[in-house]
A and B are shown apart, each in its own frame.
Chain A
Amino acid sequence: MDACHCIEPQWPADELLMKYQYISDFFIALAYFSIPLELVYFVKKSAVFPYRWVLVQFGSFIVLCGATHLISLWTFTMHSRTVAVVMTTAKILTAVVSCATALMLVHIIPDLLSVKKRELYLKKKAAQLDREMGLIRTQEETGRYVRMLTHEIRSTLDRHTILKTTLIELGRTLALEECALWMPTHTGLELQLSYTLRHQYPMGFIVPIQLPVINQVFSSNRAVKISSSSPVARLRPAGKYTTGEVVAVRVPLLHLSNFQINDWPELMTKRYALMVLVLPSDSARQWHVHELELVEVVADQVAVALSHAAILEESMRARDLLMEQNVALDLARREAETAVRAHNDFLAVMNHEMRTPVHAIIALSSLLQETKLTPEQRLMVETILRSSSLLATLINDVLDLSRLKDGSFKLDIRTLSLHVLFWEALNLIRPIASVKKLFVTLSFSSDMPEHAIGDEKRLMQVLLNIVGNAVKFTRVGSISISASVAKSESLRDPRAPGFFPVPSDNHFYLHVQVKDTGSGINPQEIPNLFTKFAQSQSSGTKNSSGSGLGLAISKRFVNLMEGHIWIESEGLGKGSTAIFVVKLGIPGRSHESILPFVPKVPENRVPTKFLGLKVVLMDENGVGRMVTKGILMHLGCEVLTVSSGDECLRVLIHEHKVVFLDVSLPSIDSYELSVRIHEKFSQHFSRPFIVALMGNRDKLMTENCLRAGMDGVVPKPVSVEKMRSALSELLEHGLLLDS
């Protein structure tokens, strides 16, 4: 043994093998040292490496391995113990680190592997996305084509342009050899070649619609590939060369009415056109799906565009028609207006022209009546008068009715006196009624106002019409007229449920009822009463003279006065009742003084003419005396009654203006009395008028009275009217002619 504490290597140092080991170790060490350097370098370069700690570990493991190998270089020759120790230490360290690394790698390597997996996955996804992108782009392109096509198609509303444009654009977009459209004929049994893209050969090829290939295409809404030998695809006159693939699609021809249905009109269309598209034969192109889709979409668009065009055509036609009709209507309206104006003018003129002579006839006939006539002449004149009055009424009625019809009628609203109105109406029918010996009553309810605001003339017309009818159709019996203020219950006519009059502060409803015991009306005819010119056909009305307009006009007037008029009758021979309700205004305080005329009716107030006139009345008969006295007092006179001639002479003073002597009693010699009265007042300037009250009209007696110095005769029984007129005449003329 040496004292150098060296360790000998096991093998001799200059063996060849040793030499090679030595060199290898050297290179290993080199490599081991450079590897981490490379690692560090590259990791530093990349930013993404997540396992730095592992790198350190690994790096140190490699470094130590390298160190180990490096140090083992010294162990090939004799080396000291220190070297051996260093070697051992290095080896131990290396062992530790490598074990640690190995352990670490167990955790790390699966991660690293999964990273790889993820990478693969991402790559796959990227490839997929690429594919999809490709698809979308294709679709977008298709969409663009469609939009462009649609725009082209829709930019016109002309059917031909639409179809032509479609074919052209499709041809361009899809680079077609040929594109054609087959339209169904009118009969619907055949398809006719209507449009083609390229070839201008004669149109009009016809194929029957029931071909199986056509049915196949029509039954699906997709573009269908068809054989290029089928009749619809044979678009060249001579099939010299083959064509490319052919696709056909149906184009629904929508009708106007289809648009009103909620679901897609596909279900309802019956008619289709056929669009055939041919790819060029010299390219090996196939129909791609997206191209087929494009074709389908285009077909739908074309359908829509066609129907729009059809609608437009329809509406244009309708508009033209309407314009024509408008023009015609306008013309007709103007003509009608002219006609109406002419008619009105005619009526107005004729009316005036007709009225003037008729009035002349009436006036002169009346005057004629006043003169001395033989009975025959009088009869004739009366007939003339009657006829012309009737004519005048007719003319007025016709004019009124025509004015009422075209609504040019306006009510003449003024203050009127209701009492006077009814009195006047009665006065007017009095002559006829007296001739027929009819009894007429008039009654007012106590709450009926004396004055009202309304159209007096028309109200009078209505009243006269109704009352006149009552008189006309009543041969015997009575007519009762009653006027009252209508309460809401009594206003309702069961046959006019729509009439709901509501009185207000300013208005009231006048209810007038005219009941007669005349010939009655068949209830079935009642609805016709108010229609113009309709006369009742019932027998027994011999004097059905009348224009038939009266009730129609009355109804119009009543309606204008916001009222209602109706007639009730229980049947023929049972009389009838006419009722009308009209709306009248309530006069305010300020209106009461405005009266259009002075009432002639005897009111319950004392008339001023005879107020305070002092008279003496001589009548033996108590009742007669009382009645005559009442009449005279009613007229305003101051009456002194006596029952004998002597008493009469006694009380008579010159302040008495009139003395009434009842001459019907034989016991009193009225003639003598009259003479004595004359004597009594012979010295005075004036003497009272002497009037005889005579029961029976006796010509001889009248003459005697007058000869005896009496101033006049008043027939008994005395009436207010007769007395009044007698007094008036007496006071005015001083003489009372035969009344």
Chain B
Amino acid sequence: MELNQLQRSFLEYTAALFREGFLDSQFSQLYQLQDESNPEFVVEVVSLFFEDSERLINDLSRALDQTIVDFRKIDAHVHQLKGSSSSIGAQRVKNSCVSFRNFCEAQNIEECSKCLQQVKQEYLLIKNKLEALFQLEKQIVAAGGAINMVEWML
């Protein structure tokens, strides 16, 4: 595929992600921070996010599986997850974290499990999507183009 088409697909893909609420304006901030001195910033941050999130989700599942559920810990984990996801603009993950936290306060295990499932689902979704996005980016870079792009989302 030639460069223009690739770039167009990239834009459209990103646009779709934003439109569907997967990402919010914070994500565009990340691209702003990417420059010649920091060419892989976005990928690095997102990878860190993936690591962090996976770890936290595992911790959460373990915590919920305990006989005695430590809601404070769960809340702390969820808080972390919420923080990370909001830092990179993974909107849906963040939103599901918010509802998770509410149920945590209510100390409702069932609901919390459900929320955890939701969070997991959202996380997997955003992971796939972001990975596809980076794939496209790699193709563009390989074809000689650059993502000299600034996204604004309001």
Contact = CB atoms under 8 A, between A and B. Distances in A.
Interface of A: 426, 430, 433-434, 437-446, 477-478, 480, 482, 517, 602, 604, 620-624, 626-628, 630-631, 633-634, 662, 664-667, 695, 716-720
Contacts of B26: 627, 717, 719
A437 B24 CA distance: 11
A22 B150 CA distance: 168
A430 B154 contact: yes
A441 B15 contact: yes
Instruction: Decide if the interface of chain A is mainly helix, strand, loop or mixed.
Output: mixed
Nearest to A438: B154
Given A627-B30, A627-B87, A630-B38, A478 B45 contact: no
19 contacts: A437-B154, A438-B154, A439-B18, A441-B15, A443-B149, A444-B148, A623-B48, A623-B52, A623-B84, A627-B26, A627-B29, A627-B45, A627-B88, A630-B45, A631-B29, A631-B33, A664-B83, A695-B82, A720-B32
Contact of A633 (B18, B29, B38): B38
Interface string B73-107: 00010011011111111000000000000000000
Interface of B: 7, 11, 14-15, 18-19, 25-26, 29-30, 32-33, 35-36, 38, 41, 44-45, 48-49, 52, 76, 79-80, 82-89, 145-146, 148-154
Given A439-B18, A444-B149, A480-B15, 10 more contacts: A437-B154, A443-B11, A446-B146, A604-B36, A624-B87, A630-B30, A667-B76, A695-B82, A717-B26, A717-B87
B84 A482 contact: no
A644 to B, nearest CB: 14
A630 B34 CA distance: 9
B38 to A, nearest CB: 7
A475 to B, nearest CB: 13
A434 B152 CA distance: 10
A438 B87 CA distance: 21
A634 B152 contact: no
Contacts of A620: 80
A719 B29 contact: yes
A478 B15 contact: yes
A434 B84 CA distance: 24
The 5 A-B pairs of least Cβ separation, nearest first, read A434-B154, A623-B84, A624-B87, A621-B83, A630-B33
A608 to B, nearest CB: 16
A433 B154 contact: yes
B33 A621 contact: no
B45 A626 contact: yes
Nearest to A441: B151
A604 B35 contact: yes
B136 to A, nearest CB: 14
A621 B11 contact: no
A426 B84 contact: no
A719 B25 CA distance: 9
Contact of B152 (A430, A624, A666, A667): A430
A517 B19 CA distance: 11
B150 A442 contact: yes
A443 B146 CA distance: 11
A442 B151 contact: yes
B32 A623 contact: no
A209 to B, nearest CB: 87
B48 A441 contact: no
A440 B154 contact: yes
A517 B12 CA distance: 12
A718 B86 CA distance: 10
Contact of B87 (A439, A477, A716): A716
A27 to B, nearest CB: 147
- Max chain B C-beta neighbours (<10 A), residue from A477, A631, A634, A719: A634
B119 to A, nearest CB: 15
Nearest to B32: A720
A430 B152 CA distance: 9
A498 B19 CA distance: 39
Contacts of B151: 441-442
A243 B108 CA distance: 148
B145 A439 contact: no
A50 B151 CA distance: 133
Contacts of A667: 76
Given A717-B86, A720-B29, A426 B152 contact: yes
Contact of A623 (B19, B41, B83): B83
A478 B44 CA distance: 27
A155 to B, nearest CB: 84
B48 to A, nearest CB: 5
A600 to B, nearest CB: 14
A446 B86 contact: no
Contacts of B145: 446
A695 B145 CA distance: 37
A533 B32 CA distance: 41
A439 B27 CA distance: 13
Contacts of A627: 26, 29-30, 33, 45, 87-88
A719 B150 CA distance: 13
Nearest to A630: B33
B79 A665 contact: yes
Contacts of B14: 441
